[in-house]
């Protein structure tokens, strides 16, 4: 178990995030407050988010989505140990159904469909792209209903490295059923063409969500500049 915890912390810290036990405990407390019984984990990587939710006390269902083969293999191994945690077949999630190229980052976690900008790679050494791979891509509207149809209050977590807007575009039909959302909001452009924090705030407000909490996310550890925040939204 300690090896798993160390792996999770290593994977989290390599991207500039420092997610403490207290932050996950606070998130679990809020999920419990809103009676969340299903979490759609978009951009799961090797399962860090799901594992941390479990350690914090969340006992509901989790369905994780991950497009990269190596990360998905580790995700499947981890989720198989948990009867309420499923790993969806390997796919990217966006605004269409079909095929798409994803850029593979040296640290895996920074991989994105969008081109990475120099600011990101300068701040996070080892995050540079080292290759590309063609993967299947799906809309949440095409696949999520099978997971949330019996859910009272589903929750959507999006960690897609600048591709959050496209994920929302592909979830227009199911979004009215979503009780809460956790996603990254970029304060500056880190991936070419991504929508920044104000656009995301306005969109989610228009969709009926209220900003509930924010946590500092990706940062330049040398200058102290915050580049991304993690924001939680709920329907009130």
SS (H, E, C) 141-158: HHHCHHHHCCCCCEEEEE
Note the pLDDT tens digit of each residue in 105-119: 999 999 999 999 999
How many percent of the chain have pLDDT more than 70? 91
Determine the average pLDDT of the residues in 147-161: 98
pLDDT of residue 20: 56
**Percentage helix, strand, coil, to 5, in the chain?**
35, 25, 40
186-214 pLDDT, tens per residue?
999 999 999 999 999 999 999 999 999 99
**CA-CA-CA-CA torsion for 181, 182, 188, 192, nearest 10 degrees?**
-70
For β-strands 38-42 and 61-65, DSSP reports them as parallel
**Model pTM?**
0.90
Q: How far apart are CA 168 and CA 133, in angstroms?
A: 23
Res. 2 pLDDT band, cuts 50 70 90: very low
Confidence grade of residue 6 (pLDDT, cut at 50, 70, 90): very low
**Higher local confidence (pLDDT), 89 or 2:** 89
pLDDT, the chain, mean: 92
**What is the Rg, in whole angstroms, of the alpha carbon atoms belonging to the chain?**
16
Which pLDDT score is estimated for 21?
A: 62
- The predicted-structure confidence for 24-62, as pLDDT tens digits, reads as follows 889 999 999 999 999 999 999 999 999 999 999 999 999
> What residue ranges define each of the domains in the chain, with the CATH number in brackets?
2-234 (3.40.50.150)
- Kindly provide the residue ranges of all beta strands, DSSP E only, lying in the chain, ordered along the sequence: 38-42, 61-65, 85-87, 92-93, 98-105, 129-138, 154-158, 180-186, 210-216, 228-234
Nearest to 110 by CA among 126, 94, 89, 99: 126
Tell me how far apart the alpha carbons of residues 33 and 125 are, in angstroms, rounded to a whole number. 39
């Amino acid at each position: 178990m300690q090896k798993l915890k160390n792996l999770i912390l290593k994977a989290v810290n390599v991207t500039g995030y420092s997610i403490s036990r207290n932050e996950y405990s606070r998130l679990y407390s809020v999920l419990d407050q809103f009676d969340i019984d299903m979490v759609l984990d978009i951009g799961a990587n090797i399962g860090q988010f799901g594992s941390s939710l479990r350690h914090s006390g969340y006992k509901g269902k989790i369905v994780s989505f991950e497009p990269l083969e190596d990360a998905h293999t580790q995700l499947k191994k981890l989720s198989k140990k948990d009867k309420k945690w499923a790993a969806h077949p390997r796919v990217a999630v966006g605004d269409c159904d079909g095929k798409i190229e994803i850029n593979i980052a040296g640290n895996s976690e920074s991989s994105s469909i969008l081109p990475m900008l120099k600011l990101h790679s300068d701040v996070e050494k080892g995050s540079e792209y080292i290759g590309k791979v063609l993967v299947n891509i799906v809309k949440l509207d095409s696949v999520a209903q099978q997971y949330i149809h019996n859910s009272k209050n589903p929750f959507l977590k999006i960690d897609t490295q600048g591709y959050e807007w496209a994920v929302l575009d592909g979830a227009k039909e199911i979004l009215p059923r979503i009780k809460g959302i956790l996603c990254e909001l970029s304060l500056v452009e880190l991936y070419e063409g991504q929508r920044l924090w104000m656009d995301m705030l306005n969109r989610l407000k228009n969709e009926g969500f209220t900003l509930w909490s924010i946590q500092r996310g990706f940062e330049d550890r040398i200058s102290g500049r915050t580049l991304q925040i993690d924001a939680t939204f709920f329907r009130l």
